[in-house]
Amino acid sequence: MGSHPCSYIREDLISLCCRRTMQPRCGVSVCHVLVLVLCLSAAEDFDWTKNNHGSFYYGTFPTGFSWGAGGSAYQTEGAWDKDGKGLSIWDVFSHKKGKIQLNDTGDSSCESYYKIKDDISLMKEIRLNHHRFSISWPRIIPTGVKSDHVNGKGIQYYDELIDHLLENHITPIVTLYHWDLPQVLQEKYGGWQNISMVNHFNDFANLCFEKFGDRVKHWITFNNPWSVAVEGYETGEHAPGLKLRGTGAYRAAHHIIKAHAKVWHAYDTQWRGKQKGLVGISLSGDWGEPVDISNQKDIEAAERYVQFYLGWFATPVFHGDYPQVMKDFVGRKSVQQGLGTSRLPAFSSQEKSYIKGTCDFLGIGHFTTRYITHRNDPTGRSSNSYFTDRDLAELVDPRWPDPGSEWLYSVPWGFRRLLNFVKTQYGNPMIYVTENGVSEKMMCTELCDEWRIQYYKDYINEMLKAIRDGVNVKGYTAWSLLDKFEWDEGYSERFGLYYVDFRNKNKPRYPKASVQFYKRIISSNGFPNQREVENWRRKAVEMCSSSNQLLAAARRKSKEHAEMPKVWPVHDEV
């Protein structure tokens, strides 16, 4: 990045009093507008005071760069109670009234369980190199306890999926835990609050290595453990819906990290020799940028934001322990609250060395960025929480585009910053981007998704710049292949490259314009030149109008069908 003179810019930032998955958009839900002063600095090396956005970079990715798209079991499979599958915490949670938008569930979702071939032909259409999916633990071990019962039909489903992918030259990247814990383990032991999950998860993982490891070479132990811990056990917005503020998330994370390390070691000692695969973890992280880069307090607050998010999990797996700043802040607040020990659990020295280095590659899920400023949060017992432990406030720039989910602002430069942060903090590990993409709201059944084209174009370009900065990114996964069940948001937020008509029981898929655009990026392995890239965009948008027509016609047909009287009126017979 080149340097440029430090310039002062006046910015109106909106304070985010709400968090991710929060309620109404902040502009509406009363957050105050702050007028702040920003300074872009001229420092040469990566540091908190340097943020040079630069212009669009035309160029290609390294040879062999892997392009993919993803989804996860509960979000896409459907068939929630079919062929011997056990219940997961998401099956139970989504069936409770008031937990999910419109009380939707993942019961049938995209019915991907029945559409292996159809979905693989969609992947072939884009020429994907890899597909990321997750294995539903209760589908193959219904109670979660391996010694109880292994469900052959579940194994058969994943066998078929993997075989068909490989027959079509698509590499499977497989996540073991994308949030669907077997319900029995929640009821009996309290789920991730309980250390016994470590052994049960290890048994499940080893079963997967045994059954599928001859063909699967990229394993992800956990997807986004931050969400599991914070949204599952702190705020309760996600399954299992517990609100154990100030302690639940830390405890869940502690057990998840131990479970990850155990599985990595099991693979390393028992399977790696013959299977020759890799085991990583997929962490999600929003970028946090200091509001005022000339203010040391803001710089420290931004670093805390990232350390409490990505660093919470990445620092243990790369360096053996939690980030120092988490230990300091949670420890200090715990003392102020009159507690004898920190709410953040501690690893023993044996555990530290066991956990350190348990990551063959790092999966990164990234969607958005926040501006961060320092704020002293209260420390009373009643204000115990992961969020207040950080002493910071999150802000957004109202000019950032936000086409879909309330929390998702498009800030491409944050992606490059995050990737460079990973490089410098964790010794330049091998990275697969495991999730990146943007949603749209339910009311827009718009297949001509120009904003998604723009998002992908800019975020992928920032990733290319990061690779030029020396970040070791090996692959990229667009999130997601299909519209799908979006957790507590139900079907109201659509991330797919393909539109799914959930109202039709066959769940037909229709390509959005972004399919064509992403396909071009893949076939050129990057961005050749401005004229071509502009042409791709134009053609993609032109082509999508025919898909729009198809969808509209199908809709009309099903509406007519629905409106057709089931019994002819009596007077017709007369």
**Beta-ladder partners of 111:** none
The closest of 236, 256, 258 to 245, measured between CA atoms, is 236
Site for ligand NOJ in 325-384 (CB under 6 A): 365
Structure-token pair, residue 63 = 């040879």
Residues 242-301 that bind ligand NOJ (CB under 6 A): 284
Residue 240, preceding peptide bond in cis (omega within 30° of 0) = yes
CA dist list (Å): 556 to 128, 550, 552 = 33, 10, 6
Token pair for 152: 């052959």
- Residue with Cβ nearer ligand NOJ (206 or 282): 282
Query: Nearest approach, Cβ of 291 to ligand NOJ (angstroms)?
Result: 25
223, 235, 315, 425: which one binds ligand NOJ (CB under 6 A): 223
Considering only residues 123-162, where is the footprint of ligand NOJ by CB under 6 A?
Answer: none
- Structure-token pair, residue 282: 């997929």
- Of 217, 215, 218, 188, the closest CA to residue 200 belongs to 188
Task: Provide, rounded to whole angstroms, the least separation between the CB of residue 223 and ligand NOJ.
Answer: 5
Determine if 235 is a binding residue for ligand NOJ (CB under 6 A). Answer: no
Q: Using the 8-state DSSP alphabet, how is residue 182 labeled?
A: B
Which of residues 72 and 109 has its CB atom nearest to ligand NOJ in the complex?
A: 72
Strands 392-396 and 7-16: antiparallel
223 or 334, CB closer to ligand NOJ? 223
- Residue of 289, 435, 462, 486 marked catalytic: 435
- Considering the complex, state which of residue 224 and residue 420 has its C-beta at the smaller distance from ligand NOJ: 224
Strands of the sheet containing 392-396, edge to edge, are 33-40, 7-16, 392-396, 369-374, 287-290
Pair of tokens at residue 514: 């972004």
Q: Which residues pair with 131 in a beta bridge?
A: 69, 172
What is the smallest separation between the CB atom of 365 and ligand NOJ, expressed in angstroms?
Answer: 5
Phi, then psi, of 462 in degrees rounded to 5: -65, -35
Closest separation in Å from C-beta 213 to ligand NOJ: 23
- Nearest distance from residue 367's CB to ligand NOJ, in Å? 6
> What DSSP line would sit under 206-220, residue for residue?
HHHHHHHTTT--EEE
452 neighbors 441 (Cβ within 8 angstroms): no
Comparing every residue's Cβ against ligand NOJ, the nearest one is 224
Give residue for tokens 């019915």.
Answer: 111
C-alpha span between 105 and 488 (Å, rounded): 9
Nearer to ligand NOJ, 61 or 499 (CB): 499
Cβ-based nearer residue to ligand NOJ, 292 or 488: 488
Q: Which of residues 487-506 bind ligand NOJ (CB under 6 A)?
A: 495
| C-beta closer to ligand NOJ: residue 286 or 360 | 286
Q: Cis before residue 514, ω within 30 degrees of 0? A: no
Q: Which of residues 37-96 bind ligand NOJ (CB under 6 A)?
A: 72, 75
Least distance CB 481 / ligand NOJ (angstroms): 11
- Shortest reach from residue 281's CB to ligand NOJ, in Å: 12
Nearer to ligand NOJ, 20 or 537 (CB): 20
**Which two tokens mark 366?**
């990234």
Smallest distance, ligand NOJ to C-beta of residue 416, A: 20
Distance in angstroms (rounded) separating the CA atoms of residues 201 and 318: 21
Structure tokens at 443: 């009311």
Selected from 394, 435, 440, 462, the binder of ligand NOJ by CB under 6 A is: 435
CB of residue 181 to ligand NOJ, shortest distance in Å: 15
Rg (C-alpha) for the chain, rounded Å, is 24
The dihedral through the CA atoms of 140, 123, 222, 479 has a sign that is negative
- Closer to ligand NOJ by Cβ: residue 289 or 406: 406
CA–CA gap between residue 258 and residue 255 (Å, rounded): 5
At its nearest, how many Å lie between ligand NOJ and the CB of residue 484? 7
253: exposed, middle or buried (Cβ count in 10 Å: 0-12, 13-18, 19+):
buried
Which of 51, 193, 224, 492 binds ligand NOJ (CB under 6 A)? It is 224
C-alpha span between 568 and 148 (Å, rounded): 54
CA dist 20 and 130 (Å) reads 29
How is residue 77 written in tokens? 């499979």
Tokens describing residue 333: 């607040």
The structure tokens 């990061």 sit at 466
The yes-or-no answer on residue 77 being catalytic is no
Count CB atoms within 10 A of the CB of residue 56.
14
| Cβ nearer to ligand NOJ, comparing 211 with 366 | 366
Q: In sequence order, what are the beta bridge partners of 222?
A: 177
Q: Are 180 and 223 in contact (CB under 8 A)?
A: no
Min dist CB 495 to ligand NOJ, Å, is 6
Which of residues 491 and 495 has its CB atom nearest to ligand NOJ in the complex?
Answer: 495
CB 541 within 8 A of CB 491: no
What positions carry a catalytic annotation?
A: 435
Residue ranges that bind ligand NOJ, judged by CB under 6 A: 72, 75, 223-224, 284, 365, 435, 486, 495
